[in-house]
């Protein structure tokens, strides 16, 4: 089978996984964190497959880019996991009947640190891609990123609508 046929089949499979994952997410919170991690991994896989197609990556580029993107995205997910409890703590501190300004200042600083770490990972990825993509591929990547996340948002919205309607019936 040719390369394009393999890519199309892989993208189709990943898209089906994405749709299934989106439908599961629309049903409400998951009892296990592992399920959320699988969904994130599926989304990353879908993104990499779609990116390969959109940028016309060579096999050599794919072999070099995939591991780096995987590593950076997993590091970002780890930072985001750490950020979640910090945000919840900040929310609780702000909503307290007598907010402690010193506590809020400390929590705000930690949240900013996590956000800065995520931004640094994004900058690291962008620098890596700049060094490993052609000018045309860089432009395609910018377009791809916007289109991918816009499309993902639309898929999630469609998946949530029926689930929300079902919940209102009860």
- Domains in the chain and their CATH numbers? 33-150 (1.20.120.1490)
Instruction: Identify the pLDDT of residue 149.
Output: 87
Rounded to whole angstroms, how far apart are CA atoms 57 and 63? 10
Question: Looking at residue 2, what DSSP letter applies?
Answer: -
The DSSP H or E segment spanning 18 is helix 3-26
pTM of the model: 0.68
**Per-residue pLDDT at 115 exceeds 90:** yes
| Dihedral-angle region of residue 56 (phi above 0 means left; psi in -120 to 50 means alpha; beta otherwise) | left
Q: Bigger pLDDT: 80 or 37?
A: 80
- Taking only the tens place, the pLDDT of each residue in 41-92 is 888 889 999 999 999 999 999 999 999 999 999 999 999 999 999 999 999 9
């Amino acid at each position: 089978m040719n390369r394009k046929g393999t890519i199309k089949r892989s993208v189709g499979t990943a898209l089906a996984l994405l749709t299934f994952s989106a439908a599961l997410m629309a049903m409400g919170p998951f009892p296990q964190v592992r399920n959320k991690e699988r969904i994130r991994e599926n989304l990353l896989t879908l993104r990499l497959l779609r990116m390969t197609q959109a940028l016309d990556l060579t096999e050599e580029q794919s072999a070099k880019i995939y591991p780096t993107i995987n590593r950076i995205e997993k590091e970002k997910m780890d930072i985001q996991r750490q950020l979640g409890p910090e945000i919840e703590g900040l929310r609780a501190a702000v909503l307290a009947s007598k907010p402690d300004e010193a506590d809020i200042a400390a929590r705000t600083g930690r949240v900013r640190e996590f956000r800065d770490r995520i931004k640094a990972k994004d900058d690291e990825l962008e620098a890596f891609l700049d060094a490993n993509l052609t000018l045309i591929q860089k432009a395609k990547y910018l377009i791809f990123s916007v289109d991918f996340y816009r499309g993902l948002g639309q898929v999630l919205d469609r998946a949530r609508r029926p689930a929300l309607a079902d919940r209102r019936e009860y």
